[in-house]
Amino acid sequence: MNRPVRASVAEAIRSRRSIRHYRPDPVPPERLRELLDLALEAPSSWNFQARSIVVISDDEGREGLTRATGGQPQPREAPVTLVFVAESEAWRQDQSDIFDRARRNGAWSEEFIAVSEQGAQEFQRGLAARGLLREYAVKDAMIAASFFMLAAAEAGLATSPMNGWDEDEVKKVVGIDGRDDLAVALLVSVGTPAERRMHPGRRPRGRNVFHRRYGAR
């Protein structure tokens, strides 16, 4: 059986658009698992991977996200919506499995592991003192969401990163209401597009890229 031709990373970046309307076609489970695995390959601070993904595909959950987003059509129409959750207190938990895996893979030396264990804890305590734990965890979750969207585009699926939601309501849908240690970073719908959106264009590189100093031409 011939495998479908997939877009390159560059093609996925250039062709991806945010799609609001979807066909009801399900996302094949094996394809979704592959895309989730690719999302989890995203880098994270100290490799702590302090982000999780909640997959919402049931009718009740999709309706709940529709309400939480003020009636946006993506959660209701797309067969799957992902909720990317930032785990701001995960660094306080046991991280030995991360170090063990890096050790087995030959990626980190014992010296590097020892330095990382101590350095990471000191770094996170510094963030806590400055009230920045949530911000850093959200950044890690957003990187994973970006990986997912590009992987989906490469596979020929449409996505839409969603903002404009009530965090408390989203938390209720995914079962983390009352958890101040967890934050909703982003919602991403995924499925087969029911519309075609044209590229609105981007400003030229010279408008947004500077060398040595911001604003330098």
Percent of the chain with pLDDT over 70: 98
Domain assignment of residue 82, yes or no:
yes
Domain assignment of residue 217, yes or no:
no
Contact between 56 and 62 (Cβ < 8 Å): yes
Q: How many domains does the chain have?
A: 1
Percent of the chain with pLDDT over 90: 95
Domain with 187 in it: 18-197
Q: Residue for token digits 């601070």?
A: 45
* Residue 170, pLDDT above cutoff 90: yes
pLDDT at 217: 79
Domain assignment of residue 65, yes or no:
yes
Q: Give residue 118's identity as a one-letter amino acid code.
A: Q
Give dist(CA 155, CA 59) in Å, integer: 25
pLDDT at 1: 46
Contact between 174 and 68 (Cβ < 8 Å): no
Tell me the two tokens of residue 103: 């050790």
- Which pLDDT band, with edges at 50, 70 and 90, does 6 fall under? confident
- Which pLDDT band, with edges at 50, 70 and 90, does 4 fall under? low
Mean per-residue pLDDT for 38-53?
97
Helix (H, G, I), strand (E, B) or coil at 103: helix
- The residue among 155, 154, 142 whose CA lies nearest residue 188 is 142
Strand 158-162 with 51-56, pairing = unpaired
Give dist(CA 47, CA 44) in Å, integer: 5
Domain assignment of residue 213, yes or no:
no
- Which pLDDT band, with edges at 50, 70 and 90, does 7 fall under? confident
Domain assignment of residue 205, yes or no:
no
Mean per-residue pLDDT for 93-116?
95
Mean per-residue pLDDT for 51-79?
98
**CATH number of the domain within which 68 lies:** 3.40.109.10
- SS3 sequence of 19-86: CCCECCCCCCHHHHHHHHHHHCCCCCHHHCCCEEEEEECCHHHHHHHHHHCCCCHHHHHCCEEEEEEE
Give dist(CA 206, CA 41) in Å, integer: 32
Average pLDDT, the chain: 95
For residues 13, 162, 168, 166, the Cα torsion angle rounded to the nearest 10 degrees is 150
Residues with Cβ < 8 Å from 67, sequence gap 6 or more? 169
Tens-digit pLDDT profile for residues 182-209: 999 999 999 999 999 999 999 999 999 9
Domain assignment of residue 38, yes or no:
yes
- Which pLDDT band, with edges at 50, 70 and 90, does 5 fall under? low
Domain assignment of residue 92, yes or no:
yes
pTM of the shown model: 0.94
Tens-digit pLDDT profile for residues 173-184: 999 999 999 999
Tens-digit pLDDT profile for residues 118-138: 999 999 999 999 999 999 999
* Residue 2, pLDDT above cutoff 60: no
Domain assignment of residue 209, yes or no:
no
Strand 80-87 with 158-162, pairing = unpaired
